[in-house]
Structure 1
Amino acid sequence: MTAPIDAAERNRLDVVIDDTLKDLCLAYDHVDTGSFLVTLEGEHKLRTMTWLVVQDHTLLVEAFFMRAPAENAAGTYGFLLGRNAKTYGVHFSIDRVGDIFLTGQVPLLAVTAEEIDRILGCVGSYADENFDPAIALGFASAIEREKAWRAKLAADAGSATKPG
């Protein structure tokens, strides 16, 4: 097994990641040496907060996807597990309470501007493409209640404007 990276290599990777995020014009916080919190914008999942953290042997990539499903957990997790067969660099995973993340490890030797761009592109795409179907599976009842509430508001507003 190889030794953990030294301070000089950690600093070099820090510069590579920082320069890449600037070149990509992404919003991010440089939290500490080798630790970045990147904001990826999307259409369906509006924001995907993504950690890039230089560890001893790999670059950790971790993005929050959604809270634990309120219903149909097996269907939601099964849907996302099926997506893992087609992902690059990151995969859907759950934590101890069932919240869903996109996670991955990139070998430090592979950390380049191109690879960071590719990995962040994958995180953004997977989060955005799968968000609506995952929410529909895991929160169907809440979505129906919201639709009914909005329809009632619209109907009430329509009847309030009609002359009596």
Structure 2
Amino acid sequence: MTASGGGAVAEAGARLAAYAAEVGIGCELGGRPGEYVVTLPGEKKLRTVVSVLVRERTTSLSAFVIRNPDENHEAFYRALLRKNLRLQGIAYAVDPDGDVYVRGELPTSAVDEEHLDRVFGVVLAASDAAFNELLALGFLGSMRREWAWRVSRGESTANLEAFRHLLSDD
């Protein structure tokens, strides 16, 4: 699978597709010329979908992390800015709706196994590893209401177990 385009774009796309196949992650052509959609498996977040846009000189990556928080905006965004200080090659960004993404760029000539492994690792850490912390910062009120509703009806709280220490009266 390769996207149409110039030699550098086609070569980088072929390297990306080969890397994805080798490590067993999903990779398919996106809707734009030179775009690939890569799906990274997660632990806290089920998956992180990364748009990889391969162009002649640069390749950009963008992945949705979490929607605009319901509450605690100042602490939520402060945490993201602090996390930006430790990220390599990507950064948290906010779209006009307040939804959070990670974005990065690398030279198209650097689209190889070593760089892809590193940048996808950083994307996954920024999206998956930080997910529960970001949920607790920006959505604790909603999670408390959901927990109380589930407990009152005898429903499963399995999807909220990671937050039991914040939600349960026990």
Short-chain TM bin = 0.7 to 0.9
State the SS of the aligned residue for 1:139. helix
1:50-77 CA distance string (max 9 Å, x none): 1111124211010000111111112111
Query: Match of 1:24?
Result: 23
- The one-letter code matched in structure 2 to 1:83 is K
TM-score (norm 2): 0.82
CA distance in 2, matches of 1:109, 1:59: 9
C-alpha contact (below 8 Å) 1:11/1:33 kept by paired residues = no
CA distance in 1, matches of 2:35, 2:16: 9
Matched, 1:101 2:65: no
Shift in CA distance, 90/146, structure 1 to aligned 2, threshold 3 Å: same
1:23-57 CA distance string (max 9 Å, x none): 11101222265311111111111111111111242
CA distance in 2, matches of 1:56, 1:79: 35
1:103-161 CA distance string (max 9 Å, x none): 10111232211101111111112211110111111111101001101111229xxxxxx
Structure 1 segment 27-42 matched on structure 2, within 5 A: 27-31=26-30, 34-42=34-42
Ranges of 4+ aligned residues in structure 1 off by more than 4 Å: none
CA distance in 2, matches of 1:152, 1:28: 42
| % identical equivalent positions | 31
Extract unaligned runs of 5+ from structure 2: 156-170
TM-score (norm 1): 0.85
Extract unaligned runs of 5+ from structure 1: 1-5, 156-164
State the SS of the aligned residue for 2:61. strand
Query: Match of 2:142?
Result: 142
CA distance in 2, matches of 1:100, 1:17: 25
C-alpha contact (below 8 Å) 2:8/2:108 kept by paired residues = no
State the SS of the aligned residue for 1:114. helix
Query: Match of 1:90?
Result: 90
Structure 1 segment 123-162 matched on structure 2, within 5 A: 123-154=123-154
Cα RMSD for the two superposed structures: 1.6
Matched, 1:80 2:89: no
State the SS of the aligned residue for 2:130. helix
Alignment length, in residue pairs? Answer: 150
State the SS of the aligned residue for 1:86. coil
C-alpha contact (below 8 Å) 2:65/2:101 kept by paired residues = yes
Structure 1 segment 4-15 matched on structure 2, within 5 A: 7-15=6-14
C-alpha contact (below 8 Å) 2:63/2:103 kept by paired residues = yes
Structure with greater Cα Rg? 1
Query: Match of 1:64?
Result: 64
C-alpha contact (below 8 Å) 1:14/1:33 kept by paired residues = no
State the SS of the aligned residue for 2:98. coil
Matched, 1:115 2:146: no
